[in-house]
Amino acid sequence: MTNGKYAVEHHKYSQRLTELEKRSAAAKQRQEGKKSPKAHIGNKIRGIKVKRYVSNGERVLKLVILFSLILLLMFYIISPYSKVKDIKINGNHDLTRTQVEKKTTVYPGRFIWGVYLNRHKIAQQAKQNSPQIKDVTIKVIGPQSLKLTVKENALLGTAVMNNDTYAVLANGKLQRTKTADNGIAYKRFDGHREALATTAAQLGKLKPAVRNGISSVNYQPTKNYPDRIIIYMRDGNTVYADLNTVGDKLAYYPAIAASMKDKGVIDLQVGAYSYGYGSKDK
């Protein structure tokens, strides 16, 4: 009897102890559950701090690089390494390299950045300094190298007026010269500078193949044709033309000359017709 009672009490004690262990484990689990969000927040804060450090580092690095580049640029600007050392010139035919450098004022020793920043002004001044320069473009092709591309007003020939010799350009402008070339000889324009300029501008429209076939141009106005010019061709033909329209009409000269049986006169003053020398049908 006593043993049975003792067994019952022992069983109850075991159950109570088991229940207490379960409660303790549950309480511990609840405590761990409460601590886990805090740990998560802490990890998140640490991650934010790391990202902030990385972002600040990148920002500082960018500023360092930027200021370094600015310092290098400033050093380059004031150093001899920014001076022009090599100049390549393209497009010049009548003008020499030395003449291009002189008229553009672009020469070795100038600061390359100064030339580039003022390139448009330099081009304008070059055209004013030399009527032969139609245009010039300036490009930087290296730390100390420039490329000048020149467009010229073609040199058509020479004219003597008032004992002065002038180079006649394709744009109609005149430029004093000391030597006569082998181009077109403009004659009898003395005192008629405007007529010469108009004639030259008209002939400047022609293709070189036609223009190079002209030996000389004489200004010979008449009462009926006050703007008449007489053109002597190198192939032996003579052309009568109006100085205001000769550039357009003389473009057809090759075809007209090819249709002629003998050398003669081509009249382009009014319309276009031709006849041989000595022909009565004039």
The span from the CA of 84 to the CA of 77, in Å, is 12
CA torsion sign for 14, 18, 20, 21 is positive
Q: At what angle do helices 97-104 and 119-129 cross, to 10 degrees?
A: 110
pLDDT tens-digit map of 215-234: 999 999 999 999 999 999 99
Instruction: Examine the pLDDT at 3 and tell me if it is beyond 60.
Output: no
What pTM was computed for the model? Answer: 0.66
- Predicted pLDDT of residue 32: 59
- Predicted pLDDT of residue 215: 95
Q: What is the CA radius of gyration of the chain?
A: 47
The span from the CA of 79 to the CA of 66, in Å, is 20
Instruction: Examine the pLDDT at 259 and tell me if it is beyond 60.
Output: yes
Q: Where are the beta strands (DSSP E) in the chain?
A: 86-90, 133-142, 145-152, 155-161, 164-169, 174-176, 184-187, 214-219, 228-233, 238-242, 264-267, 273-276
Q: Can you tell me the mean pLDDT for 122-140? A: 92
Q: What mean pLDDT is reported for the chain?
A: 84
Instruction: Examine the pLDDT at 12 and tell me if it is beyond 70.
Output: no
Q: Which of 21-25, 129-133, 239-243, 263-267 is predicted least confidently?
A: 21-25
- Predicted pLDDT of residue 236: 94
Name 188's bridge partners.
none
Greatest alpha-carbon span in the chain? 172
Token readout for 220 is 């010979």
Residue reference for tokens 């003579």: 238
Question: Which residue from 210, 228, 232 is spatially nearest to 219, judged by alpha carbons?
Answer: 228
The span from the CA of 250 to the CA of 38, in Å, is 98
Better pLDDT: 133 or 51: 133
Q: Which of 25-29, 97-101, 135-139, 174-178 is predicted least confidently?
A: 25-29
Q: Can you tell me the mean pLDDT for 119-128? A: 93
Token readout for 98 is 């030395």
Q: Confirm if 118 and 104 have CB atoms less than 8 A apart.
A: no
Question: How many of the other CB atoms lie within 10 Å of CB of 221?
Answer: 14
Q: Confirm if 232 and 260 have CB atoms less than 8 A apart.
A: no
Instruction: Examine the pLDDT at 9 and tell me if it is beyond 70.
Output: no
